[in-house]
Structure 1
Amino acid sequence: MTDLPQAKDARSGANTPEYSVSELSGAIRRAIEGEFGHVRLRGEISGYRGPHASGHCYFALKDDKAKIDAVIWKGSFGRLRFKPEEGMEVIAQGKLTTFPGSSKYQIVIEAIEPAGAGALMAVLEERKRKLAAEGLFDEARKKPLPFLPKVVGIVTSPTGAVIRDMLHGFNERFPTRVLLWPVRVQGEGSAAEVAAAIRGFNALSADGKVPRPDVLIVARGGGSLEDLWGFNEESVARAVAESDIPLISAVGHETDWTLIDLVADARAPTPTKAAEWAVPKYSDLIERVESFDSRQRTAMRRVLNDVRSHLKASARGLPRLADLIAMPRQRFDAVDGRLSRALLSNTRAHGTRLARTGGRLNGAPLVQKISRLDERLQTLDRRRHRALAQRLVDSRRTLDGRAALLKSLGYQSVLARGFALVRDDAGLMVRSAGSIAPGAALGIEFADGRIGVVADGTPPLDRSGRDPQIDTKPPRPKKGGRGGQGSLF
């Protein structure tokens, strides 16, 4: 009986009001929400598997001693500037509440950000390794920039100084058509707008109302790592990699770098420099064209000089006209004489034989046959004379034509125009005055003969035909004269 009083004492709170499970759970929820309200919580993301089929995200925040469940509703997830990733240390801002269905408390996150620049760099390095493993940074997949694009597409903010500087650069270097796709370059939704702009430019038709650009420039001014974070999003990097149009990245200053700098076909240190890379400088093009024109003219002159020199050398190697036609003419005359004598002798022989045969034969038919043969023989003789005369005329015409061609190619025709050929004592042609020593014996060949001379050592004349040591003024041309003898060829 000694246990009964104790039992009565245990039931001494029987007058305390009773709560249902739901009532107590609601009271605890109100107490937690009223005590803490909105909080900022720092911890490492654990158990993150991406959005649920419903669009909500469920995971936990932990440190080395404790763990708190977390949830991000679908509406809040779409507005997040930074998306959660497994293992990322973050600072979450939200409302502390409970989940009655499992008797646990949790934080409903409304905003989330990496815990310092170190966390951002860790996320950036992880994305960099992932995209590099997929080959998005390979040089082999990068496309060359067009030399002279007709249309340039720019993805940037329409109100910043970046677009004004770039348009000024285009006007200074090479005015061209520019299409601007306005986007936000910082804050929530900026990454999605940039990716949509790149894909939108690529979706344009080449012959559409809005022409498809030949090159794209994604540009933004400098800023902190957080300001430039939109260009480190994986969606932007993949849009750049998928672009069929060559793309120049011009985000931040020269010391800044983002993921699209590694994926783009070219990375400019500044937006102004990107405009310079996109189009050539007009004055440089004019200078290059003039340089090519000068080189072409020089090459043509060199070719003409080579051909002229080769022609002169070939002409010097040809034999003299008289030597070339002397032997054929002599053979022709000999054949002509022998042919005439042979034909005459042959005719006489046939006539003698015919007469001898006619003396032995008698009868009118034979006389008639002989008469016909004689007429035929006379006819053949006349035809022979005509054919021989015509062949001689044709052969002489051909020979005269070749003789005239040889004469036009020989240097004697040049001498006939008033020039002279100078040879040294060995009979070799003298090409320059500087190669003649004073007192040297020379031979000068004119059209009508040769003479011998001795060099007196007088300095050679310049190209104008005057002695530079005597007369420094150019000679006055005579009235009606041509002012110079002209070139040998």
Structure 2
Amino acid sequence: MKHTISLLELNRLVRDTIELSLPDAYWVEAELADVRESAGHCYMELVQKDEFGSTPVARASAKCWRNTWMLVRPHFERVTGERLHAGMKVLLQVHAQFHENYGFSWIVSDIDPTFTLGDMARKRMEIVRKLKEEGVFDLNRELSIPLFAQRIAVISSATAAGYGDFCSQLKNNIYGFDFIVELFSAVMQGEQVEQSVIAALNRINECAELFDCVVIIRGGGATSDLSGFDTLSLAENVANFPLPVITGIGHERDESVLDMVANTRVKTPTAAAAFLIDNLKHVLDRINTAQDRITSAVRRRIDYESMRIGRIAVSIPSLSSLVITKRQSALSSLYSRLCAAASSGLALRRSRLESIGASLAPLASRRILVESHRVQLLEQRAAASDPALLLRRGYSITLHNGHAVTDASVLDEGDVIETRFASGSAVSVVSSSASAKPSDAHTSGDEIRK
């Protein structure tokens, strides 16, 4: 029969071989593919990727037992400000261990936080370099916090203690300032930080005109697990955001990339609230200062004008007397000039009237003679035209209704006519028509007017 051994014996041989072949501890550089805690122990999946790609070229499991993990973890997080998470590069001190029941594993006895810190710094520097090449690194810092920044869009977890502290401090500020705060909930811890915060920024951007600034806060716990704020995509979104962004994500270590591109960086959510309150207080102080300056300027102006009016009031009597004297002198001079002008004018008009009066008498005499001669001529013409002369020559005038009759056809039978002679007149009645011979007419009466 062949010689056989049990599986337990085989595993013990492997254990003895490994312990003899690998008795020392080794410092190993690796990337964490997975990290989980259970019963106080830490279980890690280590991976090494191709230098020119992301294809794994080596993989191993590692464990950090509870008694070691309780010492290593606080020190690592205190130095780096980060919690161990997938994708992080670490420098581990490990030694080989093979257990008959659980198989082979690397046992972690220490973790060098300075190596991880340096790797994180290198990543941040690379992101900053890319942002500067794109020309967006300083864009958000170039925006100005509005003077009256009271409409605040907050990106935080709704259940975070830091958010509650932030709201409480704004509401209970000692100056009585009013703030309008609207929460845009996001995951602020773990691998979903980047996508969640970017989604919140997109929601704010859709109604950006309703807000004065954006506050990204995280607090109320440990300052670890902040790698989600050191990503290029999130930094680009914040750098290009149209509103000023204030960060208060609650850590004391070096600035994250998010802090670098934000408009204003403070340490904690309460510090962000204090910053906003101080901003309004500064504005209020400027207003009060301007009010005091305006009041002082107005008072100085009033005092100056009062003094000037007082000086004017004192000088009014003397000025009035001087003006009155000047006006009286001017009036006297004007009166004298008017009197002289009037006398001169009257003398000139009197002389002209006397000259006209002297020339009127001969003109009137000549005019009277001319008109007298013309009147005499008219009298002679009127006398020559006197009907009485014609009557005395044997002519007569026949009148009908007071009008001279020059045409017999205008007379009708029975008409009464008057015939005037040089001496007296006779009244007749027409006894025949106008077409009858004159001999047919007869006088119906012999009345002769003397």
For Structure 1 versus Structure 2, the TM-score category normalised by the shorter chain is 0.5 to 0.7
The residue number in structure 2 matching 1:221 is 219
Pairwise mapping of residues 14-93 of structure 1 onto structure 2 (< 5 A)?
40-41=45-46, 43=48, 45-48=50-53, 58-61=55-58, 82=86
The residue number in structure 1 matching 2:346 is 344
CA contact (8 A) 2:248 2:265 kept: yes
The one of 190, 211, 215 equivalent to 2:193 is 190
Give the residue type in structure 2 aligned to 1:122. Answer: R
Q: Residues 261 and 60 (structure 1 numbering): CA distance in 2 closer, same or farther, change over 3 Å?
A: same
Question: What is the CA deviation profile of residues 124-175 of structure 1, one whole-angstrom value per residue up to 9, with x for unaligned ones?
Answer: 2322333233333326862111122342111111112101110112112323
Separation in structure 2 between the aligned mates of residue 366 and residue 272 of structure 1, nearest angstrom = 127
Q: Residues 343 and 39 (structure 1 numbering): CA distance in 2 closer, same or farther, change over 3 Å?
A: closer
Give the residue type in structure 2 aligned to 1:326. Answer: Q
Separation in structure 1 between the aligned mates of residue 369 and residue 185 of structure 2, nearest angstrom = 123
The residue number in structure 1 matching 2:81 is none
Separation in structure 1 between the aligned mates of residue 369 and residue 310 of structure 2, nearest angstrom = 71
Report SS of the residue matched to 1:331: helix
Range 193-202 or range 322-331, more displaced: 322-331
Pairwise mapping of residues 258-277 of structure 1 onto structure 2 (< 5 A)?
258-277=256-275
Separation in structure 2 between the aligned mates of residue 278 and residue 89 of structure 1, nearest angstrom = 39
Offset of 1:288 from its aligned partner?
A: 5.3
Separation in structure 2 between the aligned mates of residue 188 and residue 201 of structure 1, nearest angstrom = 22
Pairwise mapping of residues 90-109 of structure 1 onto structure 2 (< 5 A)?
none
1:321 matched to 2:350: no
Pairwise mapping of residues 19-418 of structure 1 onto structure 2 (< 5 A)?
40-41=45-46, 43=48, 45-48=50-53, 58-61=55-58, 82=86, 116-138=116-138, 142-173=142-173, 174-204=177-207, 206=209, 212-221=210-219, 226-279=224-277, 289-311=287-309, 316=315, 318=319, 320-363=322-365, 365=367
Q: Residues 199 and 82 (structure 1 numbering): CA distance in 2 closer, same or farther, change over 3 Å?
A: farther
Offset of 1:308 from its aligned partner?
A: 3.8
Structure 2: runs of 5+ lacking an equivalent: 1-42, 60-83, 93-112, 371-450
Report SS of the residue matched to 2:297: helix
CA contact (8 A) 1:43 1:90 kept: no
Separation in structure 1 between the aligned mates of residue 329 and residue 144 of structure 2, nearest angstrom = 71
Q: Residues 120 and 226 (structure 1 numbering): CA distance in 2 closer, same or farther, change over 3 Å?
A: farther
Separation in structure 2 between the aligned mates of residue 323 and residue 175 of structure 1, nearest angstrom = 69
Separation in structure 2 between the aligned mates of residue 295 and residue 286 of structure 1, nearest angstrom = 14
Separation in structure 2 between the aligned mates of residue 199 and residue 228 of structure 1, nearest angstrom = 21
Separation in structure 2 between the aligned mates of residue 283 and residue 265 of structure 1, nearest angstrom = 19
Separation in structure 2 between the aligned mates of residue 280 and residue 197 of structure 1, nearest angstrom = 26
CA contact (8 A) 1:157 1:163 kept: yes
Offset of 1:222 from its aligned partner?
A: 7.5
Q: Residues 237 and 287 (structure 1 numbering): CA distance in 2 closer, same or farther, change over 3 Å?
A: closer
Give the residue type in structure 1 aligned to 2:213. Answer: V
Separation in structure 2 between the aligned mates of residue 238 and residue 39 of structure 1, nearest angstrom = 32
Report SS of the residue matched to 1:153: strand
Separation in structure 2 between the aligned mates of residue 281 and residue 42 of structure 1, nearest angstrom = 49
CA contact (8 A) 2:156 2:217 kept: yes
Question: What is the CA deviation profile of residues 418-475 of structure 1, one whole-angstrom value per residue up to 9, with x for unaligned ones?
Answer: xxxxxxxxxxxxxxxxxxxxxxxxxxxxxxxxxxxxxxxxxxxxxxxxxxxxxxxxxx
Bigger-Rg structure (1/2): 2
Give the residue type in structure 2 aligned to 1:130. Answer: K
CA contact (8 A) 1:148 1:280 kept: no
The residue number in structure 2 matching 1:67 is none
Q: Residues 352 and 225 (structure 1 numbering): CA distance in 2 closer, same or farther, change over 3 Å?
A: same
RMSD, aligned α-carbons: 3.7
* Number of residue pairs the alignment of both structures matches: 277
Question: What is the CA deviation profile of residues 380-415 of structure 1, one whole-angstrom value per residue up to 9, with x for unaligned ones?
Answer: xxxxxxxxxxxxxxxxxxxxxxxxxxxxxxxxxxxx
